[in-house]
Structures are given as structure tokens and as C-alpha cells.
């Protein structure tokens, strides 16, 4: 797995990239906040059908239809794909389709001419559609609700990873000005989306 900074561009997940907060802390908080109570009915234990792991992310307005890799931790930070064409899903967080904040990140570029899959993520706007297809073939429809830009060392752990009130999907990439000495950008763009219910 690669660190958040890869090829000079990776994703500093605001709270956890080049900073003191690591995703181990987030993982511990998420485990507590995503506990599921199982109720017994007539001596049977019932659980809701869980979504499968995500396989592809589709953003029609950007012509993005990209494979998703399950990413864990690398030196306490969220790992990102080792290429510029895949999207990384934080597998220790929420599965897209479950209540909570599912988080995905991908490269914007390499600081130069190599374009990443999230190169134009900055162009999405509230109301735009996002689709996640899982390994079972189910597609879930999300709609962009907000987008925010943060200085790359800003701590926004709770806002990005731990909102647990709705079925959410948060996409993250680099933004702003490239900092050659630090091999990264000076901002992070976060696109917030929510599940569309019929």
C-alpha cells in the first residue's frame, strides 16, 4: 500500500495526512459509532441485509467510471491506489449503502502532466449524481449535497469520516497549489453526497 502522498500527489485526508492525527484513532471511534444492535424475535437473530463491498464508482457529469480498490492503513494513514486510474475506498469505515460516512479518495494528478481519475472532481456541484456498484451487482444512487475546500493540514476527522445520521458518500482529492518541496497540494477538496431514496 502506498502512503497518502504518492507520486507527489496523494490525498491528505485533512485530519490524517501530514499531521498528528492518524486513522487508528478514527478507526476506534468508528467501531464504537457503527455498533449495530441485533434484536431477537421468536428466538431468532435477525440482521438487515448488508451492502457488498464497492466495485466501481460512476460520476456521469465527469465521464468517470472507475474501479474501486479496498484500502486500509499505511503507517497510520489512509492508503491510496498505486495508480492514477483507480479509486480507493477506506475499508475500515462504512460500506457505501450503510448508514454512516463511506469515504473514497483518488489522485488528481502527479503534480504535472499525468491526469488522475479525480482531476475534475472540482467541477461537480450539488445536485450531481454519483453511482456506486458493488461486487454483487447492486448499484446505489448518491447525489452531491455539498463540497468544501480545506487547507491540507486541517483536522476534519468527524465531518468526513464519522457522520452517522444518513447514508453518506464522501470523495476526497488534492486541490489548490502544488507544493514541490512537500510533494503535495496545499488544499483538499471534499465532495459530500447522500443516498437518493425512492
25-49 residue pLDDT tens: 445 444 443 333 333 333 344 444 5
Residue 5's CB is within 10 A of a number of other CB atoms, namely 19
18 falls within a domain: no
Residue 73's CB is within 10 A of a number of other CB atoms, namely 18
Q: Which three cell numbers stand for residue 198?
A: 425512492
Q: Is the pTM of this model over 0.85?
A: no
Residue 145 is predicted with a pLDDT of: 97
Q: Which three cell numbers stand for residue 113?
A: 502532466
39 falls within a domain: no
2 falls within a domain: no
DSSP-derived secondary structure letter, 12: -
- What average pLDDT score do residues 115-130 get? 96
- Rounded Cα–Cα distance for residues 70 and 87 (Å): 9
Residues 6 or more apart in contact with residue 4 via CB below 8 angstroms: 10, 11, 12, 13, 16, 17, 18, 74, 77, 78, 79, 80
Residue 91 is predicted with a pLDDT of: 95
Pairwise pLDDT comparison (19 vs 71), residue with the higher score: 71
Dihedral angle, C-alpha 136, 159, 11, 18, nearest 10 °: -140
* Closest CA relative to residue 111, chosen from 173, 53, 42, 44: 173
Q: Are 25 and 191 in contact (CB under 8 A)?
A: no
Start-end of H helices in 101-142: none
Domain count, the chain: 1
184 falls within a domain: yes
1 falls within a domain: no
Q: How far is CA 189 from the centre of its chain?
A: 11
The yes-or-no verdict on residue 5 having pLDDT over 90 is no
Q: How far apart are the first and last CA of the chain?
A: 38
pLDDT in tens, 57-102: 999 999 999 999 999 987 777 788 989 999 999 999 999 999 999 9
Instruction: Kindly state the helix (H) or strand (E) to which residue 157 belongs, with its residue range.
Output: helix 157-161
Residue 197 is predicted with a pLDDT of: 81
Mean pLDDT, the chain, integer: 79
10 falls within a domain: no
166: containing domain: 23-33+51-195
150 falls within a domain: yes
CATH (domain of 145): 2.40.260.10
101 falls within a domain: yes
What is the SS3 assignment for 182?
coil
Residue 49 is predicted with a pLDDT of: 59
Amino acid at each position: 500500500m502506498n502512503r497518502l502522498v504518492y507520486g507527489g500527489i496523494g490525498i491528505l485526508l485533512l485530519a490524517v495526512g501530514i499531521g498528528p492525527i492518524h486513522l487508528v484513532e478514527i478507526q476506534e471511534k468508528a467501531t464504537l459509532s457503527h455498533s449495530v444492535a441485533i434484536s431477537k424475535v421468536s428466538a431468532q437473530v435477525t440482521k438487515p441485509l448488508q451492502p457488498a463491498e464497492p466495485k466501481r464508482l460512476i460520476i456521469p457529469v465527469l465521464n468517470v467510471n472507475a474501479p474501486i480498490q479496498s484500502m486500509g492503513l499505511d503507517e497510520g494513514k489512509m492508503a491510496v491506489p498505486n495508480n492514477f486510474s483507480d479509486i480507493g475506498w477506506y475499508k475500515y469505515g462504512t460500506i457505501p449503502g450503510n448508514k454512516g460516512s463511506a469515504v473514497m479518495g483518488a489522485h488528481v494528478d502527479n503534480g504535472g502532466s499525468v491526469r488522475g481519475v479525480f482531476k475534475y472532481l472540482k467541477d461537480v456541484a450539488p445536485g450531481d449524481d454519483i453511482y456506486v456498484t458493488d461486487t454483487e451487482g447492486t448499484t446505489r444512487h448518491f447525489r452531491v449535497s455539498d463540497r468544501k475546500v480545506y487547507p491540507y493540514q486541517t483536522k476534519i476527522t468527524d465531518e468526513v469520516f464519522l457522520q452517522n445520521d444518513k447514508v453518506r458518500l464522501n470523495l476526497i482529492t488534492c486541490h489548490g497549489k502544488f507544493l514541490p518541496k512537500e510533494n503535495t497540494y496545499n488544499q483538499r477538496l471534499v465532495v459530500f453526497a447522500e443516498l437518493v431514496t425512492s
